[in-house]
Amino acid sequence: MKIITVGHPTLRESVVPVNNINATFVNQINDMFKLMYNSNGIGLAAPQVNIKQKFFIVDTRETDEKLVCINPKIVSRLNQDVEMDEGCLSIPGVYGPVRRPKSVVVEFIDLDGKPQTLKAKGLLARVIQHEYDHLEGILFIDHLSEEYLKKISKELEEIQRKNREKK
């Protein structure tokens, strides 16, 4: 399992709901956590590892809780927007200011197959929104201003060039 980078078509494609939580799926989740930790990430969505299913994992390391969100749906975005620099494991070395709501409510199924509702704020809310965007084919760079995109265009082109060379 490896992280795919910007320019790979799966990052822009739609995903399908998870229908079966079995041993193979649990192993994928475990592999994703290992990969995320080895990459110094705090969230990872299925499309980032070329899996076209609707789930993501999060561990902000602010608490002892690892979060697995299967078939998530953000049901509300609360409070005012806050701007903060974001990065992404699929766009290595690139960061930019993104405005997002300070808190969200997300409904999802956990690894035990049980429905959950979580009200998240701060960094956890931001990571949930970032990973949820991946499930919609949206990257954090899509939230950046045109001016900022011009500023980082060389870095983005270099990542995509490396992607093409791997093929």
18-23 contacts: CB < 8 A, separation 24 or more?
18/53, 18/54, 18/55, 18/70, 18/71, 18/109, 21/70, 21/109, 21/111, 21/112, 21/113
3-state secondary structure of 85: strand
Cβ atoms of residues 143 and 98 within 8 Å? yes
Q: Strand locations in the chain, DSSP E?
A: 43-45, 55-58, 67-88, 91-109, 115-121
Name the residues annotated as catalytic.
131
